[in-house]
Structures are given as structure tokens and as C-alpha cells.
Amino acid sequence: REGEGKDNFDSCEGSLVLITHLKMYERQAAETYTRAMFRLVRDELEKEGLLTAVIGGRDVMSTTYFVRHFGVSGNEVKVVITKPTNTVCCCCKLFETIGIPCSHTFVVLKAENITEIPGSMILSRWTKDAKIMDHGSLETCSTISHYMTEEARVGLIFSSCRNLLRYAASSVGAYNVAITDIHNLTLSDNVVQDPDIVLTKGSLKRPKLGQQQQRKCSRCGVPGHNVRKCKHNTRPNQPLEDSLKSYRKLSLPLSTLGVDT
């Protein structure tokens, strides 16, 4: 959908540089066809300069031409142009297969001194206004809108509002009216507030119930230190004696530990 919107914008906005020698045809093609189809038509216009046309026959309603490459004999293409609609029928069948005029058609149009591409040679499905609906199709569209997807409805509304964009941007007054109505339809008085505060992840901290009990020294009973850092330890061999007492409680032979008793 984004790519389609970009293609629609490129086709409808801006102007292309004319590079061919048939600028009347090229300008009309640039104003009529989409950007992609215009490139194909311009390629056919560039090929026209290498072709020549010779009248093969003429009657009341039509004229027959034989088109071939300049300076090359043979390989002629038969082209018939019918009056008064200026409908061109070429044997290459490019218009019947793709839907754009071929290079042979442009040779015949130039030979007939026709300064624009006939309307009968322009298919509406390749034009810029192919998506713009007429008023007669609004009732039909309302009956099938129930079966349309959201993307299809967005594209249909976008193509219908394309002319509104041009009118709204044509003057400052039209722009102010359009932008005010759009804001009245879309904007509201709801103010975005701060998000709700939620608890972070992790375990909760247990609440303190009264005063916590401090650890005390097992020798002197004073809090703030343990038995190893106790200042009341006056005997230098006290750690060794404590170790011997623990070994005796376990009833282990001290000779196995390398200690003389």
C-alpha cells in the first residue's frame, strides 16, 4: 500500500523533462498516463525517428500506410487509420496487447498532421484518473463496501480525496478551511496523562517488625564484633586450644593430625 501511494504521488505531482523530438505527443502522454506507462510511451516515441511511412491506399473512411525502418527495405508494417475518430490499427498489435500506441502509430499520426494522441488510442486504465470514481458508481460502491478489506477502503478514500488535495492547496483560504475541518474531525479534548505507576519486578522487601537483633560475640557478649576479633582474648594460644577441644569432641586420634599431646 505504501508503494502504491508513492507511485500515485509521483504520477500526479511534478512535471517530467521532455526529451523526444515529438514534444506535443510527449507532453500529452506525460499529462495523461501514469509515470510507469509514460516511460513505455516515450520509448515508442524515440523509436519513431527511425521509421518512414508510405501511403498504400486511401478510401472515403480510411487510409492505409506501410511503415518501415529508414534506409532498410522489406519488413513493412501495415497501419490503417480510420476517420473521423482517427483510430489507428497496426499489425504489430502493441495497442491490443499492452494498451499504448506503438511507434508505427506515431509515424502515421505525424504523416496525417494530427497534433495529439486520439482519445480512442488512450485506455482509461493506464491514465492518472483511473482510480477516481464518477458519481454514478458511488451507489454501487456502497453496496460492496461491506465486503472490502480495510486496505482497500483506505486506497479508495485516498484516490477519492486526491482532487480535494489540489483544491485545498490552491490558496491559503482553502487550506485554512480544509485543515480546520480535518482537525475538528480527528482531534479531541482528551489529554494524555502520565502512565500508571506499577511495581517493578523482583521479590518484595520484608517489612521491619521492631528492632532487629544484633549479633554478639560468643566470648564477651558485646555486639559489634565476633570471637576472632574479640579484644578480651588474652591467651595467645587460645585459637589452638579451641581447635584441640573440637577435635576431642569428635573423638579423633590426634596422632593422625600430626599434633603431639
DSSP state of 116: S
pLDDT at position 133 is: 46
End-to-end CA distance of the chain: 95
pLDDT (average), residues 220-230: 83
pLDDT at position 196 is: 81
Residue predicted with more confidence, 2 or 183: 183
pLDDT (average), residues 193-216: 76
Residue predicted with more confidence, 254 or 228: 228
The amino acid at residue 218 is: S
Selection from 12, 4, 7 nearest residue 151 by Cα: 4
Judge residue 106's burial from the number of C-beta atoms within 10 Å of its C-beta, 0-12 exposed, 13-18 middle, 19 or more buried.
buried
Q: How far apart are CA 68 and CA 48, in angstroms?
A: 10
pLDDT at position 206 is: 74
Least confident of 66-70, 94-98, 165-169, 210-214: 210-214
Q: What are the domain boundaries of the chain?
A: 7-121, 132-170
Confidence at 199, pLDDT banded by 50, 70, 90: confident
Confidence at 134, pLDDT banded by 50, 70, 90: very low
Work out the angle at residue 36's Cα, subtended by the Cα atoms of residues 133 and 33, and round it to the nearest 5 degrees: 45
Q: What is the mean pLDDT of the chain?
A: 79
Work out the angle at residue 24's Cα, subtended by the Cα atoms of residues 107 and 130, and round it to the nearest 5 degrees: 95
Residue predicted with more confidence, 204 or 250: 204
pLDDT (average), residues 198-214: 73
DSSP state of 260: -
**What are the helix (H) ranges across 121-209?**
138-144, 150-160, 162-168, 172-186
Handedness of CA 219, 222, 224, 230 (dihedral sign): negative
pLDDT at position 71 is: 83
Selection from 97, 104, 101, 99 nearest residue 77 by Cα: 104
pLDDT (average), residues 108-112: 93
**Residue 130 near residue 123, CB atoms below 8 Å:** no
Structural Rg of the chain based on CA atoms: 46
Q: How far apart are CA 11 and CA 38, in angstroms?
A: 9
- Say if residue 211's pLDDT is above 80: no
Least confident of 8-17, 93-102, 174-183: 8-17
Residue predicted with more confidence, 43 or 60: 43
- Say if residue 51's pLDDT is above 90: yes
Strand order in the sheet with 87-90: 51-58, 62-69, 77-82, 87-90
Confidence at 139, pLDDT banded by 50, 70, 90: very low
Confidence at 135, pLDDT banded by 50, 70, 90: very low
* Cβ contacts of 23-32, under 8 Å, gap ≥ 24: 24/115, 24/116, 25/106, 25/109, 25/116, 25/117, 28/116, 28/117, 29/117, 32/117, 32/122, 32/127, 32/128
Q: How far apart are CA 128 and CA 124, in angstroms?
A: 8
pTM to 2 decimals?
A: 0.51
